[in-house]
Amino acid sequence: MPTLWTPEGEHGVPDLPGDTAPEKAEKKPAAEPTEEQLAAERAAIERELAAAPAEDIVANHCFGLFQLAALYLTQSPPDLAKAKLAIDALGAVVDTLGDRLGESAPTLQGALAQIRLAFVELTGTAVATPADADGTKGGAPPG
81-133 confidence digits (pLDDT tens): 999 999 999 999 999 999 999 999 999 999 999 999 999 999 887 676 665 55
Backbone angles phi, psi at 141, to 5 degrees: -65, 150
Read off the pTM: 0.63
Q: Please tell me the predicted confidence (pLDDT) of residue 136.
A: 46
DSSP state of 78: -
Q: Please tell me the predicted confidence (pLDDT) of residue 22.
A: 53
Query: Distance of CA 54 to CAs 50, 60, 66, 111, Å?
Result: 8, 10, 18, 20
Domain boundaries, the chain: 53-128
DSSP run (H or E) holding 4:
strand 3-6
31-79 tens-digit pLDDT: 899 999 999 999 999 999 999 999 999 999 999 999 999 999 999 999 9
Q: How confident is the model at residue 29 (pLDDT cuts 50, 70, 90)?
A: confident
Report how far residue 47's alpha carbon sits from residue 25's, in angstroms, rounded to the nearest whole number.
Answer: 38
Omega before 77 cis (within 30°)? Answer: yes
Tell me which amino acid residue 83 is: A
Is a pLDDT exceeding 80 seen at residue 19?
Answer: no
Angle made by CA atoms 52, 54, 58, in degrees to the nearest 5: 115
Report how far residue 93's alpha carbon sits from residue 110's, in angstroms, rounded to the nearest whole number.
Answer: 14
Report how far residue 112's alpha carbon sits from residue 116's, in angstroms, rounded to the nearest whole number.
Answer: 6
